[in-house]
Structure 1
Amino acid sequence: MEHVGVEQFPPDKTGDAMTTALLHLENHYWTESEYLAIGETPERIELFDGSLVVTPTPTVGHQYIVSRLVVSLYEVARSAGLHAFAGLGIRLGPGHIRIPDFLITTELNFDDRVNDSDVVKLICEVISPSNASTDTVQKMRHYADAGIPWYLLIDPRSETFHLFRLDGDRYTEHAKAAPGELLELTEPVVATIDPAELLPPR
């Protein structure tokens, strides 16, 4: 986890204050209001326990999977009165904001940068080699604690899609599939995911 600080800049010509994250500053406890004041950045920046978690830009293969997932589930989500998003800020609890790779939600506040976790019906992470334990252990626990019903975990290395269902206060594996197999969703949408169609071409 990287601790970063904020340097304030003079207001721009529109009168809004500008901020930027400086990775060399440490020992600053971040509030949610300070986090939101950062604004848009090229990096994915999340908030956890007063620290900013800065995630490097994902690989092309990672982005390919996420974009294909959005395309494959967008229309079926809309037909169910839901939304399919990539990279949406979700508040899991006070001062705890994550930006999952993909999610299916109910109605949102489109004017906010962050929405509460109770709108999320399915959340997905694509495992990156640099943070595999974060996706398989830490985030899984936090998403379960937030009460998110379904967790889809995609492992590009093993080419396996794991679908977990919330059972009490933890996730249990509901189904899995690899190329040549199909992953059937019945909630929050009825859909079939073909791993061979979502994984990058070899």
Structure 2
Amino acid sequence: MDDTLPGKFEITKEGIVHDLMAPNPPHELTRARISRRLERVMPDGFVAHTGAPDVESGPEGIMRLPDLIVIALADMEGQGSFDPRSLIAAVEVVSRSNPDNDWVNKMRDYPLLGIPTYAIFDPRTGTGAVLSEIHPTAQGPRYATRKDFIYGEDVTVGDWTISTEGLPRYA
């Protein structure tokens, strides 16, 4: 399907998510600024990666393509999808067309995949949240800690703190 239909595909517990929308300039600028800010404070050997491949768990039947991943360079070696357990963090910039994919579905899927930190930046509202500390629940693994922020404040993703000053908003 990737070769014949536009957009990107992800596989969740509920089925396939097909995002037809091409990323817009505020979305891409947010990704770029977060990536650059993280890489300025991270030690050598780590990267805030904004490209492919996806993050996949065969046993869980989930394949996601985060907007940005924080990962050790050594864990990027090899072929195929990234192992989600090798990620330090997944970062999403909320899409204007499908915010529930980031605020609901990925909030459920990322702890299930074992991604220890999930940061959400929402250009619709100029707010976000960083979720961490996976714990078991009757509905499956969930994040126990949520730290909300507004654009302009500093935010900590993994071990690194960056500014959210000047991140673009959707018009």
Report the TM-score, using the length of structure 1 for normalisation: 0.69
Deviation of 1:114 after TM superposition, in Å, equals 1.2
Aligned-pair identity in percent equals 27
Determine the structure 2 residue equivalent to 1:102: 68
Deviation of 1:127 after TM superposition, in Å, equals 1.1
Q: Name the stretch that deviates more: 108-117 or 68-77.
A: 108-117
3-state SS of the aligned residue for 1:70?
helix
Determine the structure 1 residue equivalent to 2:31: 66
Deviation of 1:80 after TM superposition, in Å, equals 5.5
Does residue 184 of structure 1 match 2:156? Answer: yes
1:94-173 residue pairs with structure 2 within 5 A?
94=59, 95-106=61-72, 107-168=74-135, 169-173=141-145
Output the amino acid matched with 1:127: V
Deviation of 1:194 after TM superposition, in Å, equals 1.8
> Contact between 2:38 and 2:160, CA under 8 Å: does it hold in 1?
no
Ranges in structure 1 where 5+ consecutive residues have no aligned partner: 5-18, 24-41
Whole-angstrom distance in 2 between the partners of 1:201 and 1:137: 20
> Contact between 2:55 and 2:84, CA under 8 Å: does it hold in 1?
yes
Does residue 87 of structure 1 match 2:51? Answer: yes
Whole-angstrom distance in 2 between the partners of 1:132 and 1:20: 25
Count of residues in correspondence between the two structures? 162
Structure-2 change in CA distance of 1:184 and 1:143 (3 Å): closer
Tell which structure's C-alpha radius of gyration is larger: 1
Note the aligned Cα RMSD (angstroms): 2.7
Report the TM-score, using the length of structure 2 for normalisation: 0.79
Whole-angstrom distance in 1 between the partners of 2:89 and 2:39: 13
Whole-angstrom distance in 2 between the partners of 1:101 and 1:182: 20
Whole-angstrom distance in 2 between the partners of 1:50 and 1:167: 21
1:32-43 residue pairs with structure 2 within 5 A?
43=7
Output the amino acid matched with 2:3: T
Structure-2 change in CA distance of 1:86 and 1:196 (3 Å): same
